[in-house]
Amino acid sequence: MLKRLNTWLFSDVDGALFLLRRLLAENARAYAWRYALAFVMMGIVAACTAASAWIMKDLINQVFLERDGRMVWVVAGFVLVIFTLKGAAAYGQLVILGQIGNAIVASTQSRLFRAITRQDLGFFEGSGIGDLGTRLSHNASAARAALDLVVTALGRDLLTVIALVGVMIAQDPLMSLIALVIMPPAILMISGLVRRVRRVAKTQFVSMTRILSVAQQAISGIRVVKAFAVEDRLRREMDAAVADVETQANKMTRLSARTSPVMETLGGIAIALVILYGGYAVIELGSDPGAFFAFITALLLAYDPARRLARLNVNLSGHVVGVRLMYEILDRPPATSEEDGGEQLKLSGGHVRFENVHFRYGDAPALEGLDFEARPGEVTALVGPSGAGKSTVFALLERFYDPTSGRITIDGQDLKGASVSALRSQIALVSQDTFLFDLSVRENIAIGRPGASEDEIRQAAREANADSFIEALEAGYDTRVGEGGNRLSGGQRQRVAIARAILRDAPLLLLDEATSALDSESEAKIQTALSQLMKGRTTLVIAHRLATVREASQIVVMDKGQVLEAGTHAALFAKGGLYKRLCDLQFTDSDPVPDYERGPAEGN
């Protein structure tokens, strides 16, 4: 019987009871002794509340009716003791639950962040920053609020009601029965509000994510916002999102407030019935007036905790929505490519091969049977029109995704069986979309190789032609670069990124238009450093400006996820295919050839 009841109550994995049981199970063990202590404190509060009602019998009978002077001191002293004890216990309970709640928020936010960072790039491309930011902040707080409501309801409120009902029954069982008849209609009336509260809470969450999303777009793209004068449009979007949140919050307020007239009316009915019966019993039947007043006091004291218990499901429903959304992230399996494990790569030369590789972004094909190799110590350039799949090649090499079919090997080792951390430690990337962390210049360069010495960091900066501008900054290498590196120019950010790649000293080098953000003078200075960096390494270059790869060891021409042709610049130009057409659009044979892409072969 109990097993069937348990299955019925907790069968809905999205239901409030299932989520709460899971939430309690995950946190109860870690905070068991503190929860136990909090329950003891709540028990003391409940007992003191019941005692304050019980003492009313002696106060009425022995002080006011029998006029016993000694009992005045006894009752007054007893009241002082129980209220002092109650205050101390209430303080202890609030402090303990507050500390537990803070710990739960902190651990939940850490768990959510770990779960988010284990996902592949597809997850982030399909999720807005506002949505993820709201889940990190709101959902962790929702978990705490849900647990606080349940614990205080089970501890303080339920124990208090039980203790006071015990006092009521001890004084007059029949009046207790009269007082408790309000419970069934109260439960029926309030349960209808729960479903509406859940719907409103979910809509409110979506509106909150819109606010964060609009704010993030405005802040991160403030230059574009001001340059194209789109402030008014963003303000309208923000106003609409804020208005939606306000509307949903008002709905939530109205729904939650509806429990008050229900409980007030039913409570008034119960108290009125008790007074009618109790007055009749005292006047006509000669019942004990002290017992009657003790009963009334217990009933009045039980009203607030009983009302909170009646509102529990309504108040809990809003927080359960946040808990459900939290578990959507925590239960999401990590991307296969992000699961660290597998064999350590043992690289001898860094020979990269793509063998009949297919890959799709959802339903959109990106690579269709891609075959090519990048030989050790050589520069392999990937060229082709936008959407050809060049960036996808880099993403698969770093295992941001795994191929749909086919395989990618380095020195004959399939990347699918390799440790992700070991693989990425062998790769240095310099992208055209340079991203720097809001750390010092030194710390951003040191990300290339944690634990590098100061001399190694400065040497990497000198080789990247970054040392001079870094020293000119306000705090030199200790200067914070701002979020995304926004306190530096585009060329400065790019040189810091190149210094980071130089410091990494990895056998595989990926360059995605690495000099795209540099002016002509800076580009000329850094090309020599890149040429030195590429010596002895397998280098893959994504090139949109074909002048930068005319002297690459191999040029792989891609279109629609396939290799159309491959060879040297001269061979491909003479062939007259897609590569020649691209060259004709960009330059003539009289154009100068940059030094850095002459490659390591010319330096040997």
Domain contains 3: no
Predicted pLDDT at 192: 61
Q: Given 467, 484, 505, which residue is the final one in a domain?
A: 505
Domain contains 227: yes
Predicted pLDDT at 300: 80
**Rg of the Cα atoms in the chain:** 36
Residues 472 and 369 in one domain: no
Domain contains 399: yes
Helix residue ranges, H only, 118-182: 121-125, 129-134, 140-152, 158-171, 173-180
Residues with Cβ within 8 Å of residue 314, at least 6 apart in sequence: 190, 193, 194, 197, 255, 256, 259
Predicted pLDDT at 15: 60
Tell me if 140 sits within 8 A of 105, measured CB to CB: yes
Residues 415 and 474 in one domain: no
Give CA separation, 121 vs 60, 208, 396, 427, 511, in Å. Answer: 73, 24, 11, 18, 19
Residues 387 and 404 in one domain: yes
Predicted pLDDT at 596: 37
Number of independent structural domains in the chain: 3
Tell me if 41 sits within 8 A of 89, measured CB to CB: yes
CATH of the domain at 462: 3.40.50.300
Fill in the DSSP letter of residue 542. Answer: E
Predicted pLDDT at 361: 82
Residues 251 and 381 in one domain: no
Domain contains 549: yes
Residues 492 and 597 in one domain: no
What DSSP assignment string belongs to 442-459?
HHHHHTTSTT--HHHHHH
Would you give the end-to-end CA distance of the chain in angstroms?
83
| Cβ neighbours of 405 (radius 10 Å) | 11
Residues with Cβ within 8 Å of residue 427, at least 6 apart in sequence: 397, 398, 506, 508, 509, 510
Look at the pTM and tell me if it is higher than 0.85.
no
Q: Which burial class, exposed, middle or buried, applies to 29 when counting CB atoms under 10 A from its CB (0-12, 13-18, 19+)? A: exposed
Tell me if 397 sits within 8 A of 444, measured CB to CB: no
Residues 379 and 479 in one domain: no
How many whole angstroms separate alpha carbon 458 and alpha carbon 232?
A: 46
Residues 499 and 514 in one domain: no
Full domain range(s) for residue 576 = 361-426+508-604
Q: Given 334, 353, 378, which residue is the final one in a domain?
A: 334
Q: Given 482, 505, 528, which residue is the final one in a domain?
A: 505
How many whole angstroms separate alpha carbon 45 and alpha carbon 556?
A: 77
Domain contains 350: no
Residues 583 and 476 in one domain: no
Domain contains 2: no
Predicted pLDDT at 302: 82
Domain contains 339: no
CATH of the domain at 314: 1.20.1560.10
Predicted pLDDT at 359: 92
Residues 468 and 537 in one domain: no
Tens of pLDDT, residue by residue over 407-426, are: 999 988 888 878 888 888 88
* Strand partners of residue 66: none
Residues 489 and 568 in one domain: no
Residues 554 and 572 in one domain: yes
Taking 50 as the pLDDT cut, the residues of the chain under it are: 1-12, 589-604
Tell me if 151 sits within 8 A of 104, measured CB to CB: no
Domain contains 342: no
Residues 253 and 155 in one domain: yes
Q: Which amino acid is at 159?
A: L
